[in-house]
Amino acid sequence: MELWTCELAGCIGALDGTHVPASVPAHMQDRFRGRKKSPTQNVLAAVDFDLRFIYVLAGWEGSAHDSHVLQDALSRPSGLKIPEGKFFLADAGYAARPGILPPYRGVRYHLKEYKGGREPQDYKELYNHRHSSCRTTVERAFGTLKNRFNILKSQPNFPLKTQVKTVIACCTLHNWILDNGDDEYVYDHETWYRVLPRSNRVYQDIREENEAWVLKRDQMAQAMWQDKAGQSTSAAN
């Protein structure tokens, strides 16, 4: 496996959330249904630059905001511990805080925005360019994990507690496999960008959620208008 190291001094990895399909009782489904149509677990993970999982917190409802899940991970006695002076990279959905560094918002970020020889124009763009190059590690780790363990793409008919343990077990096995030889499921950095879709999760999620609420508003407004038109017709008759 080709190692991809980060150029940002003090950086020990990247963190992000991912959604894993969940099977839950009917009365719990609304809580577990966030931006996905079906119930999911919102799983927070921190990885190093060898794609190994350093920390995993599974079991949160799919409707939980990523920043809330991170706060829970940091506040637990046995939760995510970040050494003094070190930090993880995070996407723009997280706030800058001790141990967590997101990119600049509103500044070119994704590597595809720099194609064609276009270079960063100022310090913010340069930082974001390097941040993007390094933070893709967590996306590659999630992609590798889900490609390796198909159970993480389905809704297993197990108790929720078992589903949570399954996610953690898969991450543990993933680390063991990486430590014990070559792995066909791991793509190097260049291949990841060439052949696999990268998640644009935060910006895409915001756009999807906004689009969904625009549609919901339009549907409500149209229903009100039709109802009003129907009442006017009835009154006229």
Give me 124's structure tokens: 């913010």
Q: Which residue has the higher pLDDT, 95 or 162?
A: 162
Of the spans 120-129, 140-149, 221-230, which averages the highest pLDDT? Answer: 140-149
Q: Angle at CA 22, nearest 5°, toward 16 and 27?
A: 120
The DSSP secondary-structure symbol of 106 reads: T
Residue 204: pLDDT band (50, 70, 90) is very low
**Quick one: pLDDT at residue 129?**
80
> Does 225 score more than 70 pLDDT?
no
List the one residue out of 25, 18, 30 whose CA is nearest residue 63.
Answer: 30
- CA separation for the pair 141, 50 (Å, rounded): 9
For the stretch 67-115, pLDDT in tens is: 889 999 999 999 999 998 788 988 888 888 888 888 888 777 665 655 6
State pTM to two decimals. Answer: 0.72
